[in-house]
Amino acid sequence: QVHLLQSGPEVKKPGASLKISCKSFGYNFTNFAINWVRQAPGQGLEWLGWINTHNGNTNYEHKVMGRITVTTDTSASTAYLELRSLRSDDTATYYCTRDGLQLVDDALDIWGQGTMVIVSS
């Protein structure tokens, strides 16, 4: 069954760094791009970044540029989100989600279960 499994919840102090993993199951990992999206408590969805899992090309949201790095380990069919210099407003649930490409005209068709991140002193 096609799904994405994310790492567990995190509690971080301001200024620290975060690294979340997203492992894919049930499909060829390098055939589909991965996006990262977050949702602050009670708020809407915010796109953070994208990675072409085949060649490693990335694209990031300007708001987090300089603090974010998205990488992959293709041998482990896993994508990673790293966010540095954490602030309280980075507190959110973080989702990885697959770009379904030609299957669904680039819509985000598969979502991980989410990783809750709390940034607090």
Partner 1 sequence: LVLTQTPLSSPATLGQPASISCTSSQSLVHSDGKTYLSWLHQRPGQPPRLLIYNISNRFSGVPDRFSGSGAGTDFTLKISRVEAEDVGVYYCMQTSRFPLTFGGGTKVEIK
CB of 51 to partner 1, least distance (A): 12
Of 3, 1, 19, the C-alpha closest to 98 is 3
Q: Which of 5, 11, 40, 104 binds partner 1 (CB under 8 A)?
A: 104
Least Å distance between CB 37 and partner 1?
8
CB of 30 closer than 8 Å to CB of 53: yes
Least distance to partner 1, CB of residue 74, Å: 22
What is the distance between the alpha carbons of residues 85 and 15, in angstroms, rounded to a whole number? 4
Q: Is 13 in the site for partner 1 (CB under 8 A)?
A: no
95 binds partner 1 (CB under 8 A): yes
- Residue 27 makes contact with partner 1 by CB under 8 A: no
Q: Give the interface segment with partner 1, choosing from 19-27, 66-74, 76-84, 99-107 (CB under 8 A).
A: 99-107
As measured in angstroms, the least distance from the Cβ of 58 to partner 1 is 10
With a CB cutoff of 8 Å and minimum separation 6, the contacts of 105 are: none
